[in-house]
Structure 1
Amino acid sequence: MTITHDFPAVTQIPALWCPIDLRLHPEAEGADDRLFTWARKFDLIRSDAAADRFYQAGYGYFCAATYPRAQRLDLMSEWNAYNWILDDLLDEGHKDATHEDRIRICREVLAQMPVNLRAPRPTSPLTAAVADLWERSAPPMSVAWRKRYVAHYADWVGQSMLQHLPSEPEDAASLYTHLRRRRIHSGCELSFDLIETGNLSEVPEEVTQVDAYEAVRASASDAICWTNDVYSIRKETARGDHDHLVPFLRERQETDWDGALDAAAGMIETATRDYQSACRDLRALRPLFTMSDEEWSRVEDSMSDLGLWIAGSLHWHRWSPRYSVVETTPDGSTPSYIEWHVA
């Protein structure tokens, strides 16, 4: 399948439907300043280009919009900013790394998140930062939560490595395959897990293991990651990255960019409605669960928080220059703001 890089700068992002009201965290003011201080402390931000890119993106503001009820907002901001830095390193920095380099980076990061809380000594800014995050996140949480989060993290970083393997034959990349991989690569599952440690309130394991709850998370994840695909289209195509919904729809539906964007907007609306429907389905199963009203209230909070994530992510994508301002580089080359944090 041949995909071209001719995305026109004048193409307009379509309006995306969202029935959920935005909420901002009461500590939103100053969140970006506090986050920048943390990133500097761990030497994750060095150059002026990286500092400008990081600060202008508004990652603290993003978390104020997506985790508006979090008791530990700054911890949520630090996790998400760290994950963006790691994602950019593995994704946009791939010209400076071999496949073996990416495997080593991912293994070193995952080693700092042991379920038993006994991690090796960090050896780089990248591992020191994640060690700090894990030390403040994991101890209050159950072993079940730790296992779930580490598994979702491994899925996410593993998928970033798969992006750079040789392409499959044209007839192998079905829509189902594409959407399955995109859901994993979005990182939404681990971001949803963070809601629980951010609120110091776990969803009962009796619920996390049932398909009905997974359907709530999956539909929310689809709405969020496809929203990202719509708003990040200029940045991704500028880097020669086509592992996203809009370029896929453009080729498969043999349409233009506007047609692909409109089709993606329709899928986002469907996913959002699926989220609402999945919440109703899960509530209908309430009598089958042997849990107290307090425990069920944590399930309700989780469903509400996932909806707030949909609304907050859409709001931030509309606002942030992370995807609308694209540094011009030769196709696939490393932008100036990517820094090597592994040593």
Structure 2
Amino acid sequence: MPIRPQPLHPRSDEIEAQAYAWAVRRGLVDEAGGRALAASRVVTLATSYYRTAGWAEMAVLARFYVWLLTLDDWFDAPGGPPGRVPRVFHEALARDLWPAVTAGAPDAWRHRFTRHLRGCVAGYRWQAAVRTGAVPLPDVAAYVTWRRRSFGAYPVFDLIEYVERQSFPDALVGGAAARTTVAAASDVMAWTNDIHSLPRDRRAGERGNLAVLLRERRGGGWDDAVAEAERMTGDRVADLLRARDDLARSGPQGRLLGARVTGAVRGAWDWHRASARYRSHAP
């Protein structure tokens, strides 16, 4: 991974603990689920690429990470296609998360964040439908598009502006360099997750996984499928770094956005390799 690792936020342990406790208190998980969250240390995804951000912003960002992960897990639950999202997720978003991040935010940011958050939930629902056979197995191109939504990176990258207390101009976030940076980063993170999730996904009959799809569509064995997924991931890392360098030429805010996005990619890379969520299922 040609992106340097970074130390955790100096208050990472506190930021994590309050987010896991909040998830239990809000009913997103039960006590056992809270312990599993704490063991997974998912919040280090955020605290590994923000080292100087304020406590209040980091606490909300950590809760958003937990909200996204627990909602994703709810869609992954065994059984038929999920129905309505449980009320506790709506309440946690409406009462705690949404007011915090949208207070004083520009309308353009609110609309973009709303679109990306809805797209993420739609991606969760689509992936559950693929798993259960409610929709046919996609081709690789369609899978890449949907997986980019379902990983949840887009709303998280929108929150860079919230944490940094800055507003990026539309010309920056809508420009080719930023769009390519964010898309490539999301792909790298999502496909890394697919590779590390593969043993568990195979046992669960999960079909919405890049390696599973490559094997289904292109033939060969599991080693061939994983090798191809890794090759694709490496190519997207190269795309990401080229786009980040292009983005840096737009000025300080472009450099900041590029640094935070690539920091998130490295944080996700390290987390997948170390987290108890995947450690016992190493590919």
Query: By the TM > 0.5 criterion, same fold?
Result: yes
Q: Does 1:167 align with 2:151?
A: no
Match of 2:74 among 75, 85, 89: 89
Q: Which residue of 1 aligns with 2:40?
A: 57
- Residue 276 (structure 2) pairs with residue 321 (structure 1): yes
After TM superposition, list the pairs within 5 Å mapping 1:17-166 onto structure 2: 17-48=1-32, 50-71=33-54, 72-93=57-78, 95=79, 98=81, 101=83, 104-105=84-85, 124-131=87-94, 132-163=96-127, 164=129, 166=134
Unaligned runs of 5+ in 2: none
Shift of 1:271: 0.7
Residue 283 of structure 1: CA displacement?
A: 4.3
- What residue in structure 2 maps to residue 307 of structure 1? 262
Partner letter of residue 311 of structure 1?
R
CA deviations over 1:147-179 (Å, ceiling 9, x no partner) = 1011011111112222316233x7xx3321121
The structure-2 alpha-carbon separation of the partners of 1:68 and 1:249, relative to structure 1 and needing over 3 Å to count, comes to farther
Q: Superposition pairs for residues 179-328 of structure 1, below 5 Å?
A: 179-283=144-248, 286=250, 296-325=251-280
Write the distance in 2 (CA, Å) between the matches of 1:135 and 1:33.
21
Question: What is the Cα deviation at residue 98 of structure 1?
Answer: 5.0
Percent of paired sites with the same residue: 24
Name which one, 1 or 2, has greater alpha-carbon Rg: 1
User: How far apart, in 2, do the equivalents of 1:325 and 1:150 lie?
Assistant: 36
Tell whether the 8 Å contact from 1:79 to 1:133 is kept in structure 2 after alignment. Answer: yes
Moved over 6 A (4+): none
Q: Distance in 1 between matches of 2:106 and 2:44?
A: 29
TM-score by length of 2: 0.88
Q: Is the 8 A contact 2:102 2:110 kept in 1?
A: yes
| Structure 1, unpaired ranges of 5+ | 1-16, 109-123, 287-295, 327-343
Instruction: Letter of the 1:264 partner, please give it.
Output: A
The residue type equivalent to 1:214 in the other structure is: R
Answer yes or no: is the 8 Å Cα contact 2:198–2:211 preserved in 1: yes
Please give the per-residue CA displacement for 1:19-67, whole angstroms capped at 9, x wherever unaligned.
333332121133332222222332323243x233222111232321244
Give, in angstroms, the shift of residue 140 of structure 1. 3.0
* Structure 1: distance between partners of 2:214 and 2:23: 37
Counterpart AA for 1:86: L
Question: How far apart are the structure 2 equivalents of 1:145 and 1:279?
Answer: 21
Give TM-score, length-normalised by structure 1: 0.74
Whole-angstrom CA distance in 1 between matches of 2:107 and 2:170? 11
Query: How large is the RMSD of aligned CA atoms in angstroms?
Result: 2.1
Aligned residues: 274
Distance 2:178 2:47 in 1: 25
Alpha-carbon deviation of 1:133? 0.6
